Structure 1
Amino acid sequence: MALAPSSLSSGDLLADRRFEYARLLETDGDFAAAADLYAQALEIAPGWAACLFALASAQAKAGNATAAREAFETLLALDPEDHFGASLQLSLIGDEPAPDIAPPAYVRALFDDYADRFEASLVEALQYRAPKLIGAAIERVRHGKIFAHALDLGCGTGLMAEALSERVGHMEGVDLSPDMVAAARAKGLYAALREGDVVDDLSRAGEAYDLVTAADVFVYMGDLAAVFAAVSGRLVPGGLFAFSVELSEGEDWVLRPSLRYAHAPEYLGRLALAHGFLIRSMEPADLRLDRGEPVRGLVCVLEMPRAAHSVEIALPARMPEVAAMPAAEAVVLADAEGLPLPG
Structure 2
Amino acid sequence: MFLAIDSVLSLPHASAMPLPTLRSSGDLLADRRYEYARAAFDEKDFEAAADLARQVLDLVPRFAAAHALLGRAEAERGKHEEAVGALRQALVIDPDDALGVRLDLARIGALTPGEAITEGYVQALFDDYAPKFERHLTEVLGYCGPELIVDALDRICTELARPFSFASALDLGCGTGLMAKALKGSYATIEGVDLSAKMLENARKSQLYDGLHQGHLTDFLASRREGEADLVVAADVFIYLAALDPVFSQVHRVLKGGGLFVFTVQTHAGEGVILGQDSRYAHGRAEIEDFAEAAGFAIRLFEAASIREDRGQPVPGFLAILER
- Unaligned 5+ segments in structure 1 are 305-343
1:267 matched to 2:294: no
Deviation at 1:25, TM superposition (A): 1.9
SS in 2 for 1:286: coil
Q: Distance in 1 between matches of 2:245 and 2:152?
A: 23
**Percent same amino acid among aligned pairs?**
45
Residues 271 and 286 in structure 2, CA contact (< 8 A), matched pair in contact too: no
Residues 20 and 99 in structure 2, CA contact (< 8 A), matched pair in contact too: no
1:246 matched to 2:266: yes
Residues 20 and 129 in structure 2, CA contact (< 8 A), matched pair in contact too: no
Q: Distance in 2 between matches of 1:34 and 1:171?
A: 48
- Unaligned 5+ segments in structure 2 are 1-12
What TM-score do the two structures reach when normalised by structure 2? 0.89
Deviation at 1:232, TM superposition (A): 0.7
Deviation at 1:32, TM superposition (A): 2.3
Aligned positions of 1:31-42 closer than 5 A: 31-42=46-57
Partner of 1:118: 133
1:181 matched to 2:181: no
Residues 88 and 99 in structure 1, CA contact (< 8 A), matched pair in contact too: no
Deviation at 1:34, TM superposition (A): 1.4
Q: Distance in 2 between matches of 1:176 and 1:89?
A: 22
- Identify the structure with bigger relative contact order (alpha carbons < 8 Å, sequence gap 6+): 2
1:158 matched to 2:177: yes
Deviation at 1:78, TM superposition (A): 2.1
Q: 1:257 aligns with which of 259, 271, 277?
A: 277
Matched to 2:102, the amino acid is S
Q: Distance in 1 between matches of 2:181 and 2:75?
A: 40
| RMSD across aligned positions (CA) | 1.7
Deviation at 1:95, TM superposition (A): 4.6
SS in 1 for 2:308: strand
Residues 145 and 235 in structure 2, CA contact (< 8 A), matched pair in contact too: yes
Larger Rg: 1
Matched to 1:56, the amino acid is G
Partner of 2:249: 229
Deviation at 1:92, TM superposition (A): 1.4
Residues 49/128 of structure 1: CA separation in 2 closer, same or farther (3 Å cut): same
Partner of 1:190: 209
Partner of 2:314: 294
69-78 vs 196-205, greater mean Cα deviation: 69-78
**Deviations along 1:47-67, whole A, 9 cap, x unmatched?**
001222222233334444433
Matched to 2:30, the amino acid is A
Partner of 2:26: 11
What TM-score do the two structures reach when normalised by structure 1? 0.84
* Runs of 4+, deviation exceeding 6 Å: none
Residues 100/50 of structure 1: CA separation in 2 closer, same or farther (3 Å cut): closer
